Structure 1
Amino acid sequence: MKLLLIHTGGTIGMAETGAGLAPKAGLVEQALGERLPTDVALFSHVFDPLLDSADVGPGHWNRMLEVIRSHEGLPVIITHGTDTMSFTGAALSQALAGEGRCVVLCGSMKPLGHGADAEGNLQLAIDAALSNEPGVALAFAGKMMPAAGLIKRDSEAEDAFRSVPQDHLEPSARPVFDDRRFAILTLSPGISAEFLRLALSCLDGAVLRVFGSGTAMSDPVVLKALEEAVRAGKRVRAVSQCERGGLEPGTYAAGAGLWATGIENGGRQTPEAALISIWLA
């Protein structure tokens, strides 16, 4: 059997330096190789330089997709930092929908060799990858979680992630990420309509985190800024600021003005999943 490792960086492959933890080449490759059955051939693609996941973006997602697609049929383990794991999970889940690939994301809250979670997460990822079950998942804290709707819910605990169920994924319209500009914006009490207008003017589209099941302030200037963006052809998709439940337009009168702007309904999507979906549309 053959297995592909894509090592992007992150805490799992860091070591102590005089300035604190920093990525160190070879740590992940060695640890994974020591745990593989002898009849498994390992192919590795290591990012150079290795990245803190805070620096991961659409260009890196494209690179991961290129490597995955150039190794047709091989199960894949991707080691990755936790800070943007939810974005990468959504990106790969949607971009690879319908391709039947087994992709297992893996990271940790403490590095290898620190007697914490890294070794267990890596072994879980190996076991999952060798099963070669189609789908994109995260191996973390003793659990396998669908990667399409990940939320990092804790910045310190080993059990740092949960997965929010997402709707069935259809093959995406675009195979890779282009250079359009998208962002996640959040409604907050007293938000400036001018801020929204200026932010949207700089973007090709946005995800807007709204209140509860789909409400927003009734300020006509704020609503007009959203309507103008939609009329200008920008993709603006709403998601809930709540982790669970999603959106139900029409439940409250306080949401009528919001939905009248033509904004899209993100339903149960996480902000990360919604961002990826408008990027790949």
Structure 2
Amino acid sequence: MPISLEEAAFRSILKWLVIRNEALLLLTYLTREAEEIQKIVVFEGAFEKIFSIIKEEGGSEGGVVVQDCLQLLNNLLRTNASNQILLRETMGFDPVISILKLRGSTYSFTQQKTINLLSALETINLLMMGGTEADPGKDANKLTNKATLVQKKVLDHLLLLGVESQWAPVAVRCASEEDLALKQQLELYVERVQDADPNLQIVALESMRQEIRTSTSSMTSVPKPLKFPRPHYGTLKAFYETMGNSELKKYLVDILFVLALTMSVEGERESLKYRLEGSGGDIGSWGHEYVRNLAGEISQEYAK
């Protein structure tokens, strides 16, 4: 039976939308850790496409597609200072900040809108970090990013979300202040772990272990105490290799085997490696997701 031109066009649009959404999910998976893939995706115009889709879908008011776009964006920025610089010097930070803008005289916060806003706040945090500890240009990039965000009056939008808006969910109102405080605390722990004073080391290591253990005990997504130290994973691994055999080293390896849950390169089985070198104890205390991942690595090692 022949179909009209309008129906054919409608079917084509639906097919394109399905392909687009599936491509977003695939790219989000592929760019979680692979820096080279991140660069290729950005080179192919990912930033322009991401913000175009977010605008088409309604910004923070949009659905799960906006969430997927922001997750992909954060993957491209998290450990890649060059991508941050490219975004800043081409499109600028305006498209990110526009997602945080609240429109209208009354505000409705659905669960999806809350997730979208929290994802956008994570983007701001990543830009404020400037890159990983291993990047020699991190500090300069961080200062430039912060200056640019201030010039773009991002603080006005954060204040509106955090203080003035009585309608915003508690998670959104607190995200900016609490996340920044937690990130700074965990970064301080990373510095203290590498201190020459063993007393400072043990306090920092035990504090990090408690933060991560508590957050992963009922993990359904990557918790912030596990997410914020990820840029320092390489630094902690390198320091671990310089440590002599001691209880302190076992404390650090307990942190590494959980961070490896989200940072280990596929096939290297670093969670299993560090678990075998750790202090032991109840595996289940680190949460179901960690146990599941560890079981998978054991299966891979057995089949090797």
Q: Normalising to structure 1: TM-score of the pair? A: 0.30
Instruction: Identify the structure with bigger relative contact order (alpha carbons < 8 Å, sequence gap 6+).
Output: 1
| Structure richer in strand, relative to its length | 1
**Which structure has the greater CA radius of gyration?**
2
Q: Normalising to structure 2: TM-score of the pair? A: 0.28
